Structure 1
């Protein structure tokens, strides 16, 4: 078993690796380091939760380590045997990767109040028993929404079928730092899911279906046709910068949290959404996993998973959603945010983790790069053939012990 590094070694690693400088804490208090990718409103919301925890636990100090390249930084820390106590894991694929590497610690945290598929992210307990928990979903998202400016759209689309016959200009930006390309990947995933169903979607995300023919190839074509001229320059346009052009452009696809809408306008319903057809939604979450044997980290994790922290988090800036069933629509800062959160808790809905999030991280990274190249004019066929080769080399099918991609 690894020995955790001394606080001095860890502090030196953090200061050397991370893009945002941090200071080493008070040695008189138990310190918990947590690597996070958040900035702006997302970090402001997290910091409010940290402050509330520290007020109730004066002997524990939380030290956020902020990085815009979390996957790369965490890989480097794990390889150097200098992991943070906790880290945000932005996908179920990342959870599976670090669990298989035996870098993640099993958690003694009750997630029974969380809705599926967020409840038990880990290996099967065997014989149909409960899953062991390796990560806590601290905030969730619904990706399958098309947004528009209600004040500037007198004739909004009534359904996704309307989108194919309209001539709206899409607010399309694909640049997003180390994960540039994800907005297009999410769109393609939604088109596979809503057009071809859960079985086709699961086969693709699990590495059991090809990219260059069938549903994936067709969904990629449909996305290109839907975006039209909006693809031009999208690879070098930030996602949030593109959305801020609304209403010069009309429609945007993605989570409420990613839109960076003005909170006052959201509250008065100036921004509204068109849900996908049917009752199946693409979802994601930011999870927190544990990498050391720091007991104080267990206390912070238990707090993050509790209803008190979840209710506090969703009231902060950033439009976070909670997968905790104890957090109701009335706990949210505004009605639109509460309505979207309610989609996670509607029994008739089936929730499917984002396909790229469920893939091997190297496969999803190649997926994102292909989206950028396609937006810049690269031919679809060779790109998808190359993704098939990457999938074959790096992305084995998901093990039977992995949690299901889609659950009601």
Structure 2
């Protein structure tokens, strides 16, 4: 822990905006590099354990820059000409913008060959590889505490709406998340659209061919509001991670949550399958899942950056990473690279990402949007919960933000069978 704190002191990125990026410099010697990440607490510790292994194997020193305001911090550092050597990119939309703006360095194509679809193609812009997915997630999950909710909750839309009418404070829902407040609602709305209207409508919406104010998209918003019910009333001020912890609190303050395992904040002491478990949101008839990934890209020519990306992409590093206490992440490595998950619940979710699972994986909607559109999506979610404007007005406003812009993700890369 002393070493960890020393690292953070050298490049104290927790709250500083531009200061840290400048202090760390844009051209360190090849035996040292900087990497900017958005993870904190247990997620950070899991990542840092992998970094320590890399340092021991290579002798390369890594300064980890931690920030929860990833978009703002990275934009400021890049604009000042003092980017970190590597950064976890906040979205595929940001990845596309940095690549097309000649901010990202090209990577060797063979780094991505072991990754599964649809993750592999998302780091490719203009036929060139710019980033690799080093951590994956499945968002189409409903969580419950088996000690409190003895029977698994329903995943059918009408059944969940009926449940919320009977128990309006059922959901562990928080929307507060700093500059990205609103994202939990955005993820849920996208999940509902995918399950209600299918992949063609989902892709058409992201590509701008299906309007935000269309009946299909509007129905996803109203369905979310009816399911979340009374739980939305204080959600705007409640942090998502803190809200989800209510499920395993003693006594529990809520019963169900929606989203990725890594976002739930379950403590390592909570026994998987006993203190928490899940059902998939995807209807059995369609078997569609909303997934996401954290990509790492290189912003400088420091050769040590390539060495770290190569290591983070290896089965060895991925295996160590997914089994760190509190990691709760998944590997996007494909066939021929099977990993062992110690956590029973994690193991079941990981199978959904493997080849021949039968699931169609669709990339997270907000992450596949241009950054300004996803930000507007998050704001609209907050306005909707606060009844700040009629839904039709909010959705037409999002149509104006999207008008005339191309999707940063080609349509053939938005959804793909797990392969």
**What's the TM-score once normalised by structure 1's chain length?**
0.89
Contact 1:352 1:407 in 2 (8 A): yes
Provide, for residues 175-201 of structure 1, a one-character-per-residue CA deviation record: whole Å limited to 9, x for no partner: 011111000000000011001000100
For 2:56 and 2:151, the matched residues in 1 are separated by: 50
> What's the secondary structure of 1:274's corresponding residue?
strand
**What's 1:255 paired with?**
260
How far 1:371 sits from its partner (Å)?
0.4
**What's 1:339 paired with?**
348
**What's 2:227 paired with?**
226
**What's 2:400 paired with?**
389
> What's the secondary structure of 1:120's corresponding residue?
helix
* Aligned pair partner of 1:300 in 308, 313, 330: 308
How far 1:165 sits from its partner (Å)?
2.1
For 2:106 and 2:266, the matched residues in 1 are separated by: 37
How far 1:110 sits from its partner (Å)?
2.2
**What's 1:128 paired with?**
none
> What's the secondary structure of 1:147's corresponding residue?
strand
**What's 1:85 paired with?**
85
How far 1:90 sits from its partner (Å)?
2.7
How far 1:396 sits from its partner (Å)?
2.8
Contact 1:120 1:403 in 2 (8 A): no
State yes or no: 1:324 paired with 2:333: yes
How far 1:132 sits from its partner (Å)?
2.9
How far 1:381 sits from its partner (Å)?
1.6
Please report the RMSD computed on the Cα atoms of aligned residues, expressed in angstroms: 2.5
**What's 1:267 paired with?**
272
Contact 1:142 1:255 in 2 (8 A): yes
For 1:13 and 1:139, the matched residues in 2 are separated by: 22
- Residue ranges of structure 2 left out of the alignment (5+ in a row): 1-9
State yes or no: 1:51 paired with 2:52: yes
For 1:314 and 1:240, the matched residues in 2 are separated by: 19
> What's the secondary structure of 1:153's corresponding residue?
coil
How far 1:120 sits from its partner (Å)?
2.9
Question: How many residue pairs get matched?
Answer: 389
**What's 1:5 paired with?**
none
Q: Quick one: structure 1 residues 124 and 229, their matched pair in 2 at CA, closer, same or farther if it must change by over 3 Å? A: closer
How far 1:310 sits from its partner (Å)?
0.3
> What's the secondary structure of 2:328's corresponding residue?
coil
Provide, for residues 3-23 of structure 1, a one-character-per-residue CA deviation record: whole Å limited to 9, x for no partner: xxxxxxx97999952698998
Provide, for residues 266-305 of structure 1, a one-character-per-residue CA deviation record: whole Å limited to 9, x for no partner: 4353211110213110000111001111111111110011
Q: Quick one: structure 1 residues 254 and 15, their matched pair in 2 at CA, closer, same or farther if it must change by over 3 Å? A: closer
For 1:177 and 1:68, the matched residues in 2 are separated by: 8
For 2:349 and 2:49, the matched residues in 1 are separated by: 22
Q: Quick one: structure 1 residues 238 and 76, their matched pair in 2 at CA, closer, same or farther if it must change by over 3 Å? A: same
**What's 2:4 paired with?**
none
For 2:272 and 2:153, the matched residues in 1 are separated by: 21
State yes or no: 1:285 paired with 2:282: no
Contact 1:13 1:82 in 2 (8 A): no
Contact 2:29 2:302 in 1 (8 A): no
Runs of 4+ in 1 over 6 A off after TM superposition: 10-15, 19-23
**What's the TM-score once normalised by structure 2's chain length?**
0.87
For 1:35 and 1:138, the matched residues in 2 are separated by: 14
For 1:265 and 1:144, the matched residues in 2 are separated by: 21
Contact 2:138 2:349 in 1 (8 A): yes
- Residue ranges of structure 1 left out of the alignment (5+ in a row): 1-9, 126-130
State yes or no: 1:407 paired with 2:407: no
How far 1:211 sits from its partner (Å)?
0.8
User: Mapping of 1:92-171 within 5 angstroms?
Assistant: 92-108=92-108, 109-123=110-124, 131-161=127-157, 162-166=159-163, 167-168=166-167, 169-171=170-172
